[in-house]
Structure 1
Amino acid sequence: MDKRGSTGPAPKLRKGDRVAILSPSFAAPGFAPAVHEQAMNRLADATGLVPVEFPTTRRLGATAEDRAADLNSAFADPSIRAILATIGGDDQITVIPHLDSGLARADPKIFLGYSDNTNLLNWLWSHGIASFYGGSTQVHLGPGPGIDEIHLTSLKAALMDGGELTITDPGVSEDFGRDWRDPKALVEFGEREPTEPWAWAGPERQVSGPTWGGCLEVIDELALADRLPPVDALHGSILLLETSELIPPADWVKRWVRSLGERGILSAVSGVLVARAPTSNFEHRPALEERSRLRAAQRDAVIAEVTRYNPEAVICVGVPFGHTRPQWILPYGGEITLDGSTRTVSALYS
């Protein structure tokens, strides 16, 4: 499969189009329905699109077969023009074998998701269907006083508007929000802190290419399941990397990235874009200085390993995508440009 796929981009949506709201991993809407319902109202109000739930959207403990059946139904329904994941989880890898690639390829739909949805994004990519990395109705639409500006901008670009956007830093970030069972979750953000400047490494040149990658914890699973793409398909790509709320230590990140180097992926790509790393969760919130130190350690580990395997790669670390909020939704299989001379990142939402 050519790294740019063969089906072409899925068509953009218009007001009134129907979008499937699915839970391919954890059914967060069944755990916190008030947050989910606020997300659905906000999605409809902000975009004019019509959210459509499927049988397992709110079903906690749904089998992999049943979740796959909902995905296949959404692929097969010509009235459904996009699929949005409610959240990630930890077992989507078991859903993938039950998907029908013929349905997905016959009528490509825009898909949005991140974290455990790296499984589905990689599967769609392998069948020539570009998607978008980011977007969780339960995390980025439902909680708090409203939708963050950069998230809404990239959501509309991914689903409806297209075009090219310069990726910017919102200046603040949170690793996690309020407990969804707390009524305050509907009206308040989590604790936000100032962001650090993005770190750049590699030559001061501009590189552009289609993206691939995702959550490192899931990429590790894909490797064990023998579902990574062939290295030849990644030549000239921009590699997206991020870590999850599990907060892996820098040594784990180093080993994962080093393994991508040994596989040949690091030497194949033109650039590497790394997300701002979460360093706290509900169970563990280190002091501000320690959180900064943990992010710096992960940053240094990634830069050192990428540079060792590919000194010509342009590297940018700290971008607000993946497990952070506010969050940019980024192309997956679509084009991103890293400019090491102007230190800018831009994304094409076609």
Structure 2
Amino acid sequence: MKERDGKPYAPGMTTPVYPPKPSPGDRIAVLSPSAGLPALYPRPYELGLARLREDFGLEPVEYPTTRTMDATPQARADDIHAAFADPDVTAVIASIGGDDQITVLPFLDRELIRAHPKPFFGMSDNTNLLAFLYSSGVVGYHGTSVMVEFGRPGAMHPQTAESLRAALFTTGAYELRPAERWGDVNGDWADPATFAAEPETPKQGGWTWRGPDRVVEGRSWGGNLEILSWLLMADREISPDPSAYDGGVLILETSEELPSATEVFLILRSMGERGLLRRFPALLMARARTWSFAHPNSPEAAARYATEQREAVERALAAYAPDTLAVFDVDFGHTDPQLVIPYGGTVRVDGPARRITVTY
């Protein structure tokens, strides 16, 4: 048990509060807390910066490691501190994800960030920083990166842009809507031809509801399932008291690494054995990513992968959280379009009405 202000402290004990929102014309920090991929793929990054300026009226501010590959964890933490402490910066957004942000967490100054709370937008490996903000008492935003959503070829997806604009600039309730069509196949960022047209969204959308037909309203927690498993193994930003998550809404998504259904079940089983799953009366399970350059699944293989993942989640819920209301294929995480979910903020899951409302 750590101490804070002379009192016992464990992650999860602090109720997150919403930081002030930016306004058009403000400066927004663009960081690479994980991989400095803007250095390798400048085209989607520069496109994303241009849309931040031209479509959202925000002025991006870069830091020393934003375009630096293999920056040290200390250097990346220094950039995070500088962005949060700068009084002229009103929000922070990740350039993209990665796979080693967990190494940055020990270098972060919790009190500095608590003293200068700002909206942070990111997903995937940025689950690390979102969980850190949650346990520090700051609501974050699971969704959006400069290179992927802002840097989408052709144009931003309208549904992504609408959700992001609401999350960035407004407060209050926002109802999420299922995408009519979606896609998860990307072009090669190194090929200029990729940016000549929007990516296809050929698959039919919609959500699937499972479990008791009830209304759940609570604070969200979770993020990328693989990253959560690493945080659990390292015992980072996870409350030692599972009751800290009582009544919350669990949000989970999987990455372009395409973890197998067996791996998904085993991670959820471990969370169940820790006593976590049953603490959440509602689960939002993001639409599974089913294609990557390393795993270029056919449409049939992609559909089979998604079905097997859903069955793995349902199996874990049946064993450890049978009373949890679950909604599958929600449009957040590694999918297009992508909706923004407040992390640590209020989420309302209305089973009878089949509606999901978030508070931005």
TM-score, length-normalised on structure 2?
A: 0.93
One-letter amino acid matched to 1:77: D
Partner residue in 2 for 1:314: 325
Aligned residues: 349
Unaligned runs of 5+ in 2: 1-9
Partner residue in 2 for 1:328: 339
1:284 pairs with 291, 295, 298, which one? Answer: 295
Partner residue in 2 for 1:237: 248
Check whether the contact 1:143–1:187 (CA below 8 A) recurs between aligned residues: no
Partner residue in 1 for 2:353: 342
1:221 pairs with 230, 233, 237, which one? Answer: 230
Unaligned runs of 5+ in 1: none
Would the alpha carbon gap of residues 331 and 4 (structure 1) be closer, same or farther in structure 2, given more than 3 Å must change?
farther
Task: Map 1:158-197 onto structure 2 (within 5 A).
Answer: 158-197=167-206
Check whether the contact 1:177–1:189 (CA below 8 A) recurs between aligned residues: no
Q: Which moves more between the two structures, 239-248 or 45-54?
A: 45-54
Task: Map 1:1-350 onto structure 2 (within 5 A).
Answer: 5-6=14-15, 8-227=17-236, 228-229=238-239, 230-349=241-360
- Tell me which stretches of 4 or more aligned residues in structure 1 moved more than 4 Å: 1-4
Distance 1:101 1:2 in 2: 11
Q: Which SS does the other structure have where 1:47 is aligned?
A: coil
State the Cα deviation string for residues 295-319 of structure 1 (Å, max 9, x = none).
0111111122113222221100101
TM-score, length-normalised on structure 1?
A: 0.96
Would the alpha carbon gap of residues 197 and 143 (structure 1) be closer, same or farther in structure 2, given more than 3 Å must change?
closer
Distance 2:358 2:16 in 1: 20
Q: Give the share of equivalent positions with the same residue, in percent.
A: 42
Q: Which moves more between the two structures, 108-117 or 333-342?
A: 333-342
Distance 1:252 1:24 in 2: 26
Distance 2:11 2:257 in 1: 33
Would the alpha carbon gap of residues 264 and 345 (structure 1) be closer, same or farther in structure 2, given more than 3 Å must change?
same
Would the alpha carbon gap of residues 237 and 298 (structure 1) be closer, same or farther in structure 2, given more than 3 Å must change?
same
Would the alpha carbon gap of residues 2 and 237 (structure 1) be closer, same or farther in structure 2, given more than 3 Å must change?
farther
State the Cα deviation string for residues 3-42 of structure 1 (Å, max 9, x = none).
5845621001112111100000011211111211111110
Check whether the contact 1:7–1:108 (CA below 8 A) recurs between aligned residues: no
Check whether the contact 1:202–1:307 (CA below 8 A) recurs between aligned residues: no
Partner residue in 1 for 2:3: none
One-letter amino acid matched to 2:354: R
Check whether the contact 2:11–2:136 (CA below 8 A) recurs between aligned residues: no
Distance 1:185 1:254 in 2: 35
